[in-house]
Structure 1
Amino acid sequence: MERLVEIADRLTEVGGIVGVCLGGSRASGTHRPDSDFDLGLYYRQPLDTAALRLLAAQLTGGPVEVTEPGGWGPWVDGGGWLTVDGHRVDWIYRDLDRVHRVWRQCLAGRFEIGVQPGHPLGVYSHAYVGELAVGHVLADPGGELRELRERTRHYPEPLREALMDNARWEAPFILAGARKGAARGDVFYVAGCLFRAVGLLAHALHAHARRWVLNEKGAVRAAGELASAPAGFAGRAHGLFAALDTAPETLAAALDDADKLVGEVCARLDR
């Protein structure tokens, strides 16, 4: 951790960097020995990417590709992949003004779902807030990150209700639409609908428990560990995909199981 703080302090000397936060599995305590160190670089324009590249080269001992803002897409909007002292250290840009804007949306019960490479379910905008809420601030000269993090410790009730309401209507809706694909043996379409429905349930269960979801990875397993989850939720959810083939009757059976799971989750959301 001492080495990370040193790197974070040097990062805040770069023009545009307001603060640095450790996120991902290293922050949540779910990491493995080989897990990356995800450093969120909270910035405001103009961001001195030339200085970032110079610092990256100094830390790694050679040139490193560091993107301009927007280089990786609209939501995970850039950064760099470094190897420092034999460890993978990822720099991930976070536009701080956008984080503030998303927090205001959360308080109003609004969220966006953005298309982003590497995120098949899409990026739920409130993940920006969740990253800060569960992360560890490493460097914050002006105190802005710590102040915002303190506010985000309390999960907004309007966001909670919005995410549960979204699952209540959209999960049955998308499964009903999948029936048409099932009748034609369109396993690709049915699998996509199942994936979406399970993702909605995972988000709703976390919202019910006032827990932040940061991305799809591990979200189903984590949802299954929540007190409000139906018995065997994770295994049942994963099992929906295990035996899919192009036989209409097989696809219909998977959708029947999914409908049951949706019904059980929605019943628990109302408790």
Structure 2
Amino acid sequence: MDEDRLVEIAGRLAQVGGILGVCLGGSRARGTHRPDSDFDLGLYYRQPLDTAALRGLAAELTGEVTEVTEPGGWGPWVDGGGWLTVAGHRVDWIYRDLDRVRRIWRECQAGKFEVGVQAGHPLGVYSHSYVGELAVGRILADPGDELRELQAELRHYPEPLREALVGNARWEVPFTLSVARKGASRGDAFYVAGCLFRAVGLLLQAQYADARVWVFNEKGAVQGVDELPTEQKNFAVRAQALFAALGTTSDSLAAVLDDAEEWAAEVVGGFAN
């Protein structure tokens, strides 16, 4: 899909009642996309949102009836939207309540974050991802300049948020790996794998925070750690090796936890104070 067509679609979306602006996000905003990557369009809105008009536009663009949800239709965090195919390209409309983004930004500045349960996000949705999406996104339509004004504020990663995420990893990672020992003694690979996934997820959130880089979700995040401007190297290789070696016996699970604890101590020890 060429740039002119993308901007045209964004402009039409911005004419729908309730939509304040449209921002290209995901891998295409970061420049890490593949040829078959989706076009993720964040639809920043304020209620009331004219979803009937959105459905009409979706039908016109796709040539068929296309489901477009009400706000909250996909759950509490991925707020709703629609999956479209436009001229052979996958175009995702993803709602973002702009007032909620503003509230979360204030919380980030105060060093507060929350993690929400959401389908498709096994680690959970970290609230600051809302802010990060707009911070690094490419604004395609913004009639009132509200997105651009807010984006200018978001360029600077808040130090209190960095301290909160790093501090959380310092205590929760060793705690999580220690409780995994109970599962390992029983050969409970399911429980140990879950604890290990949680521990690695906490470490990667802290790594991005320590580098003052926004991270949106789990997909590709482990591999991305090695590209951060930090001293930590081979994060992805070491993390993946832990999962590959799990096995199902008490001995194999305990050995993986030994390696995980040693590696986690190295990672946590490398964080700035």
| TM-score in terms of structure 2 length | 0.98
In structure 1, the partner of 2:249 is 247
- Which stretch shifts more, 254-263 or 220-229? 220-229
Q: Does 1:191 align with 2:189?
A: no
| TM-score in terms of structure 1 length | 0.98
Q: Which runs of 5+ in 1 are unaligned?
A: none
1:260 Cα shift? 1.2
Write the deviation string for residues 6-49 of structure 1: whole angstroms up to 9, x where unpaired.
00110011111000000000000110000000000000111110
**Partners of 2:231 and 2:54 in 1: CA distance:** 44
Equivalent of 1:111, from 106, 110, 113? Answer: 113
**Partners of 2:164 and 2:258 in 1: CA distance:** 26
In structure 1, the partner of 2:84 is 82
Q: Does 1:208 align with 2:210?
A: yes
**Partners of 1:82 and 1:93 in 2: CA distance:** 14
Runs of 4+ in structure 1 off by over 4 angstroms are none
Equivalent of 2:131, from 115, 129, 140? Answer: 129
Q: Which amino acid aligns with 1:111?
A: F
- Shift of the 111–163 alpha-carbon distance from structure 1 to 2, 3 Å rule, reads same
Write the deviation string for residues 215-249 of structure 1: whole angstroms up to 9, x where unpaired.
00011111122242533211010111102222111
Aligned residues: 271
Q: Which amino acid aligns with 1:235?
A: V
SS in 2 for 1:141: coil
1:85 Cα shift? 1.5
SS in 1 for 2:192: helix
Verify the 8 A CA contact 2:210 2:272 in the aligned structure 1.
no
| Alignment of structure 1 residues 118-267 onto 2, 5 Å | 118-267=120-269
Q: Which amino acid aligns with 2:181?
A: R
Verify the 8 A CA contact 1:20 1:139 in the aligned structure 2.
yes
Q: Which amino acid aligns with 1:117?
A: A
**Partners of 2:248 and 2:71 in 1: CA distance:** 43
Q: Which runs of 5+ in 2 are unaligned?
A: none
Q: Which amino acid aligns with 1:81?
A: W
| Alignment of structure 1 residues 53-64 onto 2, 5 Å | 53-64=55-66
Equivalent of 1:43, from 42, 45, 52? Answer: 45
**Partners of 1:108 and 1:177 in 2: CA distance:** 30
Verify the 8 A CA contact 2:165 2:209 in the aligned structure 1.
yes
**Partners of 1:226 and 1:54 in 2: CA distance:** 42
Verify the 8 A CA contact 1:109 1:160 in the aligned structure 2.
yes
Q: Which amino acid aligns with 2:164?
A: A
**Partners of 1:232 and 1:12 in 2: CA distance:** 43
1:261 Cα shift? 1.4
- Shift of the 229–170 alpha-carbon distance from structure 1 to 2, 3 Å rule, reads farther
Q: Which amino acid aligns with 1:253?
A: A
Aligned-residue Cα RMSD (Å) equals 0.9
Equivalent of 2:18, from 13, 16, 19? Answer: 16
**Partners of 1:257 and 1:163 in 2: CA distance:** 23
Q: Which amino acid aligns with 1:72?
A: W
SS in 2 for 1:269: coil
- Which stretch shifts more, 218-227 or 134-143? 218-227
